Structure 1
Amino acid sequence: MRKDDAASGAGPSAPARARLAALGRTGLSAVADTGMDRFARLVANVLDVPVALVALAEDVRQVFPGMAGLGAPWSVRRQTGLAHSLCAYVVDSGGPLVVTDARVDERTRHGPVVAQLEVAGYAGMPLTDVEGVVLGALCAVDSRPRRWTEREVEALSDLAAACSTELRLRIVSRQAEEARAETAALLARSELVLRASEVLADTTGVDEVRRQLGELITSDLKPVHVGLSLEEVAGTRPARPARPWEAAPAEEPWPTARAVREKRLVTVTGVDEVRADYGDEAAARWAESGFGSMVCLPLSGTRQVLGALSVAWDTPHEPDLGERAVLAAVSGYAAQAVERALFVDERIDVARQLQRAMLTELPVVGGLELAALYRPAAQLDMVGGDWYDAYALHRADAPGIVAGAPSLAMTIGDITGHDTHAATLMGQARSMLRQADHDHPRGGPVTAVTALENANTALGVNLSGTLVHAHLTPAEEGWEFTWTNAGHPPPLLARPGGPCRRLDAHDLLLYPGLAGRRTQHSLRLPPGATLLLYTDGLVERPGNDIEAGTRQTCVLLGEGAGVPLDELLAEIADVVAGDAPGDDVALLALRVTGPPRHAPGRA
């Protein structure tokens, strides 16, 4: 700072700003530096002076990172005021200052340092950076008046040139470090954008988009919060996040809402700014969040703004141009991912509704307890063709049938695929199988499944999958269970007093053009017997043995003789499939509670 700047209290001049920037890159201040101390000792030895200094001019003080010949307190403090100092004169003039007696010289006698350091003879040479900016002075100080010889001045000038070279090397080294750091930061940001384009391209749901964004941005920019605030899209608002500062539609006074309304980046630093721009309620919400600063960017979809991306830190943080560019790019990829996720979520929701609509309300049959359970896969996009069905078949004219007691048809099936099309084919298979049963009242399960296969081929439906279709017939001596298995996991039967067993007989799966001769099998179900039909989502998990899962299910079925069927099915699903099944799970079970008797049924 020039002397007139210091006196007037004005801000640093352009030369002063350049000097301070260069000094910052040297890394030197009021702390002893080995290299600078060495230059001070050289000056003291070569010029035979009691005191030598490397003096650098900061904003309002001069500091001495290099010093020789001074004891405490100077050797500890290594600083003094800059105004009216000898160093300030060298900086201000840009040239050397050589004085025989600083105590009487008009240029220096008013400086407080002259008295403080007991300066008489003084010679100071400017220290400059590569641009010629004077950073300070290399000083030789004598406590007695001294006439400096031309040779001494030349020697001090040479030492000052060497010291300046050292300062320039430090500045260049620091600039190289800054350049490397900036390059690394740019590379990291480029990698962040690249990762965002790759990772977000594979997301299939809004929750996954939110999770992936959080992981991406947190790993690089170190915020304490990354959130999505989504506006109502296509008539359906995604579930609001639990944290109140994430849920702010466009009409609310909040930074994310402003980003949506004005379609631009919005920054906030501090609760006072929030209170001034958004009101007391918003300020209270901000205080609750613990944020220090926030950046909000609109998620601009192809037809409308979908919401906003918010990134917050717990300290004041002003994103630089690089960070803003990265966040803008990431928000663009996020908008595409959200738009795609909302579309996928809508399709999945439609498929789920279709799938649930096809799940049967179980009939009431005297002498039987019926229960069913359906659990979708943990991955919401895994919409499959799993289904169960049960309906009454009135066959009172058949030989051996108990008069007035309905027969029961039961099906468990799994149509190939995990999408809306699979759910649609499942509905067609269910309807065709029901129709086949009602069109062939004297036929068995094989008749109905064969009719389904014929219709599948003739109509070009092209469904494929597996199923178990069964008829439960009330006879004079009890219930007769007749079934056919088209490539499906075997039913499990637990009888009183005996072990649980698998009904292993099965034929080829359902497949267009693969229809062949099917077989059916029968056995008697005594009172207390429990039968379980299930889809492979119950027992098949990555890394797990299907046979082990089937055995575990059989054990639970046998041990649950006294447990209500609906509770038993929930326990089996919890234990065997776990709380995050990789595929849909459908279970259908019956328990013989008594002899056949008439009861009103629902088909």
Structure 2
Amino acid sequence: MGVEIPAAVFDPKRLSAVRATGLLDSEPEPSFDDLARLAARVTGTGRAFVTLVDDRRSFWKSAIGMGELSVSERQNPLSDSPCHILIATNGPLLVDDAATDPRVRDLPAVRRLGIGAWAGYPVHGPEGEVLGGFCVVDSVPRAWSETDAQTLAVLARAVSGEIRLRAALARSERHATEVEAAGEVSARLARTLQNSLLPPMMPTVPGLQAAAAYIPAAGEVNVTGDFYDLFLASGSRWCAVLGDVCGHGVEAAQITALARYTLRADAPRHISPSRVLEQLNRALLAQRVKDGRFLTVVCAIFRPEGDGFTGMLSTAGHPSALLRRADGSVESLRTPGVVLGIMEEPRLENTRFELGPGDTLVLYSDGVTEAHSPGQQDLFGDQRLADLLAGCRDLDADDVVRRIGKAALDHSQGHMTDDMAILTLRVPDR
């Protein structure tokens, strides 16, 4: 018996909204892949999808865990997957055992993709139309937790927010003459606002070199969520932080400002960076925005000791910090913990570190490791960054920042698709 497709799938207004996104038959993009990759990691499923559905097929804009796929391999018949159910109900679909659940057990994708469990939320267009779904797939049956459901709901809203932002930009671009003049003003405002979210200069830390850089994506004039800061927390304790807010624009800037000033307010009150980040998480939840933006961040609190520094570091869904020892060896510093602004308990921890003469600590955003040239999937990656840092012999903090930024830009052939933030702390050789 064939699968009956709900009438809501063929609604003309919905189909027009799907086509208007311009995402059908397009290549993968970091803005969607990052959200899908985060969903796969947080839920532990390994596979996650951003799917758009028109009147004849479902198209995977993002397909994490499926390897390299051509455009033709990223589309399936309407009746193949559960996304048409999301369109009919305009609500979540959580399937613990796909083989026995009557809603999905007869769908071809259950057998073809080896679906044991499936969880998805609808993705909406600017006017609330259901464009498709944001889902994760496990190869074995499982009971989806409240945390899983909450995470997917937030990330689905983030996907919808990205699509709404693009639609707004497309509407603006149709008024070319007006936009050209307004764009120049907006660019200046964006640069001014971006600069206001970063410290005007690195403070002087006795016995320590400090350097940082923010490098925007190619052609970017939007305010982004990448930020860094270094400040005296209290007494002899210093705090270094680098974070990345999901998305761009005024909403991201609001969260960036909230994060930076919350960290500066709470760091003097705590010696534990995980405690500082927990307080930031509470502030983000209290000010949660409708589009579900979230924040990844790494925070280090340290003080002088002997001829160097000692401290603790905590990461919340953020790339590992890297510690280059004077002998050229590189250590990865990372702690458990999920992104901030999504759940009440991000399960953060601390790890201790020491900086001796010649040691360098590097904090960075994922724009560095995910740098790649147009049309290529060869990311700059963690190993290249570690190898590069190992080779930074006798370089001061400024030179390390410049070398990392240049290497990532060269790898992307000058076409960065994401912004980069880099912060380095180095104890000079004695």
Residues 1:444 and 2:272 are matched in the alignment = yes
**Of 382, 387, 393, which aligns to 1:555?**
387
- Per the TM alignment, residue 514 of structure 1 is displaced from its structure 2 partner at its CA by 4.4
For the pair 1:346 / 2:185, whether they are aligned, the reply is yes
2:327 matched residue in structure 1: 497
Question: How far does the alpha carbon of each residue in 1:169-214 deviate from its partner, in whole angstroms, 9 at most, with x for none?
Answer: xxxxxxxxxxxxxxxxxxxxxxxxxxxxx9xxxxxxxxxxxxxxxx
**1:574 alignment partner, one of 387, 393, 406:** 406
1:541-592 CA distance string (max 9 Å, x none): 353444x522222222222231232123112211123333111111000101
Tell me the SS of whatever aligns to 2:393: coil
Q: Is the 8 A contact 1:370 1:591 kept in 2?
A: yes
Is the contact made by 2:190 and 2:222 (CA closer than 8 Å) also made in structure 1? no
Aligned-pair CA distance for 1:347: 2.7
Identity %: 30
Q: Which digits, 9 at most, give the CA deviation of each residue in 1:203-227, with x for residues without a partner?
A: xxxxxxxxxxxxxxxxxxxxxxxxx
Measure the CA separation in 2 of the matches of 1:477 and 1:370: 16
Structure 1 pair 515/577, CA: closer, same or farther in 2 (3 Å)? farther
Check the 8 A contact 2:333/2:351 in 1, yes or no.
no
Unaligned runs of 5+ in 2: 1-19, 21-171
Structure 1 position 507, deviation (Å): 1.3
1:374 aligns with 2:374: no
The CA RMSD measured in Å over matched residues stands at 2.5
**Secondary structure of the equivalent of 2:208?**
strand
Q: Give the C-alpha shift of residue 517 in structure 1.
A: 2.5
Task: Tell me the alpha carbon deviations over residues 491-540 of structure 1, each in whole angstroms, 9 at most, x when there is no partner.
Answer: 11110124222223331111233433210110222210011111111121
SS in 1 for 2:302: strand
Looking at both structures, which has the greater relative contact order when contacts are Cα pairs under 8 Å and sequence separation is at least 6? 2
SS of match in other structure, 2:395:
coil
Q: Distance in 1 between matches of 2:173 and 2:364?
A: 40
Question: Is 1:511 paired with 2:341?
Answer: yes
Contact 2:247 2:293 in 1 (8 A): no
1:592 aligns with 2:427: yes
Q: CA deviation at 1:423?
A: 1.9
Per-residue displacement from partner, 1:420-459 (whole Å, max 9, x unpaired)? Answer: 2212221111001111112x1x431111111111122234
Cα separation, partners in 2 of 1:334 and 1:496, compared to 1, 3 Å:
closer
- Residues 526 and 381 (structure 1), Cα distance of their counterparts in 2 relative to 1, 3 Å cut: same
Note closer, same or farther for the CA distance 1:415–1:455 as it changes in structure 2 (3 Å cut): same
Change (3 A) 1:424 1:334: closer
The equivalent residue for 1:232 is none
Contact 2:316 / 2:346 at 8 angstroms: preserved in 1?
A: no
Cα distance in structure 2, aligned partners of 1:539 and 1:383: 21
TM, length-normalised to structure 2 = 0.54
Counterparts of 1:460 and 1:427 in 2: how far apart (Å)? Answer: 14
Structure 1 counterpart SS, 2:175: helix
- What is the aligned partner in structure 2 of residue 218 from structure 1? none
Q: Equivalent residue for 1:564? A: 396
Contact kept, 8 Å, 1:411 with 1:470, in 2: the verdict is yes
SS in 1 for 2:248: coil
CA distance in 2, matches of 1:533, 1:429: 17
Aligned to 2:362: 532
2:281 to 425, 438, 453: 453
Say if 1:476 and 1:572 are closer, same or farther in 2 by CA, change over 3 A.
Answer: closer
What are the residue-to-residue correspondences of 1:58-77 with 2, within 5 Å?
none
Q: How is 1:42-81 mapped onto 2 (pairs within 5 angstroms)? A: none
Q: Give a deviation string over 1:3-62, Cα, whole Å, max 9, x none.
A: xxxxxxxxxxxxxxxxxxxxxxxxxxxxxxxxxxxxxxxxxxxxxxxxxxxxxxxxxxxx
**Aligned counterparts of 1:454 and 1:354: Cα–Cα separation in 2:** 25
Equivalent residues in 2 for 1:98-113 (5 A)?
none
Q: Which residue of 1 aligns with 2:231?
A: 391
Query: 3-state DSSP class of the match of 2:343?
Result: coil
Residue 487 in structure 1 maps to residue 317 in structure 2: yes
1:368-407 deviation line (CA, Å, top 9, x unaligned): 0000111111132453100110001223xxxxxxxxxx22
The DSSP-based 3-state class of the residue aligned with 2:214 is strand
Q: Which of 361, 365, 371 is 1:541 aligned to? A: 371
Q: 1:467, CA displacement in angstroms?
A: 0.5
Secondary structure at the aligned position of 2:209 is classed as: strand
TM (norm. structure 1) is: 0.39
Identify if the C-alpha distance between structure 1 residues 458 and 419 changes in structure 2 by more than 3 Å, giving closer, same or farther: closer
- Whichever residue aligns with residue 499 of structure 1, its letter is S
Q: CA deviation at 1:335?
A: 8.6
Deviations for 1:224-259, whole angstroms, at most 9, x for unmatched residues? xxxxxxxxxxxxxxxxxxxxxxxxxxxxxxxxxxxx
May I ask how many residue pairs the two structures share in their alignment?
251
Higher helix share: 1
For residues 537 and 585 of structure 1, the distance between their equivalents in structure 2, rounded to whole angstroms, comes to 5
Deviation at 1:475, TM superposition (A): 2.4
Rg: which structure is higher? Answer: 1
The 1:592/1:515 distance shift into structure 2, 3 A limit, reads: same
**2: CA distance, partners of 1:586 / 1:334:** 29
2: CA distance between counterparts of 1:414 and 1:342?
Answer: 30
